[in-house]
A and B are shown apart, each in its own frame.
Chain A
């Protein structure tokens, strides 16, 4: 998910729409007027209403603010402001002069190139659109300046654009973009690859802490999330889905529910029941009055315990696909260090519960929702409603958190299944319990790691055998390697920041039950692999009797950007300074999503095993910075997200049903647990990296390494088991691997053996 994606809108599309002409720039796709979808034609017609719509992203009318269409969705990362600023920088307007619009679901116009799809995820937005959106801004500015030059009969070079106006300094006159809009529409469209772009040092807006465009309305209750949709005639519904994955409704008695005041209908689908009514409370009371008997379905024996047993079996005996192999790990001799790491399934728990408002009519399906995948939403709605895709109208909203959950369309599918049974618009709102128990969870992993240390204590060989299920195999098989290898499973382990001469990283695929699909979760592969790799390299440093920072620095000799963040963070946390009893400092370094970063944490562990993060520092080099305020926010929030995972995160199953239901048993870090987090952004002229998931990916190992420093207990399984941290004579021995006595007796099948035996292909 973190391959560099730099797109440029290289092809242009002319769509004849109404009487006007509008040009749409394509990001890597190709559509002709003949085969443009009806919705694309609609979009072109809509753009045609603007006096000047030089591309799919910029609309300037004679009066009113400049409208900028934002290809990605905003789920908290501030991308509406960031992408608006990319255009505004070259268009020469202030963010106060623009309004932003959600892009409609038109894949050829708004797709993110890596996915060849209109998707927001993988920390790709800035990397994908950094060049292209500046180009469309520059092209529009060129046309506006050209129009003014023609009107005034002066050379374009004598004019300048600033603050939404074209200015003629020699003749002391100016015209607003609105005044020039109609004339600009008649100007030739410049070749995007040839428009001159500013050097980052000349940026006026990008690189400054410009304020986001959505903040004010998020502080006064005005901003509408999907759950806030208000549609004429709508009824509110809530639902109960079968708690057992793959199960269904066996029997249903509705009489008592129908008696609840305000209840309108009881609606059934195979996997669940919804009750609609005048308001959520009527629906909820109605739902509680139902008598539902569930058919547990084929996976009633699925449990977290059985799942980890099966993962372990696959880890020992499954055929693996090689992610990366360098040198020959089998020919190295020295001190061997081995460890097994286990990571649980995780729920997303976005604070806005799943919801969708859907109105199915004979000839159309209208949807009000916030989604990371608007085109997929349209596709599934059309399929369920039995309509063509151009009959589906999607009203995109701000997302009350995404984190990968809204990369799925299961909730939209469910909402349409219910809504097509009623004539009115149906607002379907999941309770927190239903949201959590029917997540598309982050998969569990079981990773076997080993290293061989030379006489100097530094690794001569490193192996990592990851076992877990592939999200991409279901979600985007197109991104798999031809042999089925999913690079997400080993991301940041197969491409470590450290130099080790002999490495072998492989993935043993694991199949989930079809009824329990697993999904993307903030930080994806890097969140998983940076925890294991950064914990394990910390183990190696201690096995070698060396300081973890010095040890890493030596291994980073070929990676100056990563090393710079390490030195910076270590200095700022006070690495090496005296520290009290049961306090420790931990560090973790990596390069997730094209951003080099080091997190450093100081922790205190009470004799009872309770963990308090005292302070934290994160140093990041993410290339050219769009907005330092956003980078800081994403790092701070990302760290909290990652620590929450380490401290509390586990979605467990018993009898095929998720056992957690709300924030009392699926806990979140809170204000009183959150330290001050100092974010240090290193100056860089390199191409921009991602930032939305970087903090999450680097958080956990910095924390658990600090816990090791404080207590001597190595955490190899998340979430952190506080019982291991209780201060007594045995605590240090009870680390996770050593608890698993049977593992050590079982026939060992480590990577080196597997490779030698041809088991890894």
Chain B
């Protein structure tokens, strides 16, 4: 048993030390928000935060985590920056198929935590490890800017919160 701290909770993982964090999350702890895309840290779909840094969980053995604190997409909205990012993602409507977006959001939230007002070049540097096959990059960039500055920089969606039928 290996103990890892995920989203503030100590969780027990029955698996070998060399098991990548991705599979501990998905197949042992049942947290499938973190995605498998390439298995070799090329696509960023598996991005999580370890002690606040964006890392690729598909190549991070759980034996190396020790006292590290892991945050996944399921809990990223609990931080101020993560919440801002999620809201901007909704307002600008970043997602298409959505499969890469857990990773995009984790990379973007980590970027804002370290750099609250990133330039285009900062965004490119922080986000180029995340592949989006649907090609949502233009809106990823816009949503990060909107989250950072509060300024509306793209077409905004109309929320669907009409009163519910009861």
Report A's interface with B, CB cutoff 8 A.
63-66, 74-78, 93-97, 163-165, 176-178, 208-216, 218-225, 227-228, 230, 236, 261-262, 278-282, 349-353, 398-403, 429, 431-432, 628-629, 632-634, 636-641, 644, 662-664, 668-672, 674, 676-677
Contact = CB atoms under 8 A, between A and B. Distances in A.
Given A212-B93, A674-B138, 6 more contacts: A218-B101, A221-B73, A228-B26, A230-B32, A662-B38, A674-B137
Contact of B99 (A219, A225, A632, A669): A225
A63 B160 contact: no
A58 B74 CA distance: 32
Given A663-B131, A671-B127, A76 B98 contact: yes
A215 B95 contact: yes
B103 to A, nearest CB: 9
Contact of A671 (B33, B77, B97, B140): B140
A400 B97 contact: yes
Contacts of A214: 95, 98
Interface of B: 14-16, 19-20, 23-24, 26-28, 30-40, 42-43, 45, 72-74, 76-77, 86, 89-90, 93-102, 105, 123-125, 127-141, 155-166
Contact of B95 (A178, A219, A399): A219
Contact of A401 (B24, B133, B155, B165): B133
Contacts of A664: 40, 42
21 contacts: A76-B97, A93-B165, A94-B161, A95-B160, A97-B162, A163-B163, A210-B158, A221-B34, A222-B33, A223-B98, A280-B27, A281-B16, A351-B45, A352-B97, A398-B97, A429-B36, A432-B39, A628-B155, A633-B136, A641-B135, A670-B130
Contacts of B124: 671-672
A495 B141 CA distance: 37
Contact of A211 (B137, B141, B157): B157
B17 to A, nearest CB: 11
A133 B76 CA distance: 38
Contacts, number: 244
B37 A670 contact: no
Given A97-B165, A211-B158, A637-B96, A403 B36 contact: no
B59 to A, nearest CB: 12
Q: Which 3 A-B pairs have the closest CB atoms?
A: A221-B33, A94-B162, A640-B135
Prevailing SS type, chain B contact patch: loop
Contacts of B130: 670-671
Contact of A220 (B15, B73, B141): B73
Contacts of A663: 38, 40, 42-43, 131
A96 B27 CA distance: 33
B135 A674 contact: yes
B139 A351 contact: no
Nearest to B16: A261
A668 B131 contact: yes
B23 A280 contact: yes
Given A78-B96, A633-B139, A349 B133 contact: yes
Contacts of A644: 135
A113 B40 CA distance: 42
B162 A96 contact: yes
A279 B28 contact: yes
Contacts of B102: 221
A218 B133 contact: no
A262 B125 CA distance: 39
Contacts of B165: 64-66, 93, 97, 164-165, 176-178
Contacts of A94: 160-163
Contacts of A209: 93, 155-158
Contacts of A402: 97
A400 B35 CA distance: 10
Contacts of B35: 225, 227, 351-352, 400
Contacts of B37: 351-353, 432
Contacts of B100: 351
A485 to B, nearest CB: 32
A178 B139 contact: no
Given A211-B160, A215-B95, A676 B138 contact: yes
Nearest to A210: B158
Contacts of A429: 36
A53 to B, nearest CB: 15
Contacts of A672: 124-125, 127-128
B20 A210 contact: no
Given A211-B90, A280-B23, A351 B158 contact: no
Contacts of B138: 636, 674, 676-677
B27 A281 contact: yes
Nearest to B87: A219
B133 A96 contact: no
A223 B24 CA distance: 19
B32 A221 contact: yes
B36 A227 contact: yes
Contact of B90 (A75, A178, A219, A262): A219
A78 B162 CA distance: 20
Contacts of A403: 133
Contacts of A353: 36-37
B90 A220 contact: no
B121 to A, nearest CB: 9
B62 to A, nearest CB: 10
Contacts of B161: 94, 96
A221 B38 contact: no
A633 to B, nearest CB: 6
Given A97-B163, A219-B101, A224-B32, A633 B93 contact: yes
A644 B134 CA distance: 11
Q: Considering residues A213, A228, A429, which has the most beta carbons from chain B within 10 angstroms of its beta carbon? A: A228
Contacts of B72: 221
Contact of A636 (B105, B123, B135): B135
B140 A401 contact: no
A401 B105 contact: no
A95 B160 CA distance: 5
Contacts of A432: 37-40, 43
A401 B99 contact: yes
B97 A351 contact: yes
Given A94-B160, A209-B158, A262-B15, A400 B90 contact: no
Nearest to A350: B133
B96 A163 contact: no
A230 B31 CA distance: 10
Contact of A629 (B28, B105, B155): B155
A89 B94 CA distance: 24
A638 B134 CA distance: 7
A210 B23 CA distance: 36
Contacts of A223: 98
A208 B130 CA distance: 30
Contacts of B14: 278
A668 B133 contact: yes
Contact of B128 (A176, A228, A629, A671): A671
A221 B77 CA distance: 11
A214 B98 CA distance: 9
Nearest to A235: B27
